A and B are shown apart, each in its own frame.
Chain A
């Protein structure tokens, strides 16, 4: 596709449930990033991939959060035992390579609501 796509656009779940959020980066982009944006805040870095491997996962808040990118393209962010505090917009972005020389393109986000 022309841009970064994310599915679903909205997800409502109950506390304690498991959710998966999907990101399709721009074709050919080797770097993929996940951010979380809570209401009234700036996006907060979670994890980024270079190819299939997680180059930096220092932003994941705890071990309930996990992300994969098995074939170096699509990525899935997985959240176990969801809590109300996980409610936020989850943003995915991709770039051709290093952000020093390449622009990062953002998807529209997935709005997660935990009841």
Chain B
């Protein structure tokens, strides 16, 4: 079965600093991978999706993720954090439905 593991349930970064949220996948076939964001009291929103077309995927709000098969990783990054990036982030894998990780709450320090 497909699964993803997110390292760190909480991550804090200073405003303007690099954001790095870690995700490792477990899949027996080339996976379709996703990052979703959930802002407080809002619904889930797709940030970006990997479909094997390119290993570096650019998403909305300046986020990007790189698929690394050798490391079975799909980490999410953003060069410079904004206060508005504070939210819960979920890594996920497609298996006819979406299988989500447990989430990482991103805190932005002023």
Interface size bracket, A side:
20 to 34
Question: A-side binding surface: helix, strand, loop or mixed?
Answer: loop
Tell yes or no: B94 within 8 A of A by CB: yes
Interface residues of A in 75-107 (CB under 8 A from B): 91, 93, 98-100, 103-104, 106-107
A37-63 interface (Cβ within 8 A of B)? 40-45, 48, 55-56, 59
Residue of B nearest to A101 (CB): B51
B65 to chain A, nearest CB (A): 16
Residues of chain A contacted by B32 (CB below 8 angstroms):
99-100
Known: A91-B44, A107-B43, A108-B43. A99 touches B96 (CB 8 A): yes
Closest 5 CB pairs of A and B: A42-B100, A106-B44, A42-B103, A99-B94, A106-B43
Q: Chain A interface (Cβ within 8 Å of chain B)?
A: 33, 35, 40-45, 48, 55-56, 59, 91, 93, 98-100, 103-104, 106-109
16 residue pairs from A and B, CB less than 8 Å apart: A40-B103, A41-B102, A41-B103, A42-B90, A42-B92, A42-B101, A42-B103, A43-B44, A43-B98, A45-B97, A91-B44, A103-B49, A104-B46, A106-B43, A106-B44, A106-B45
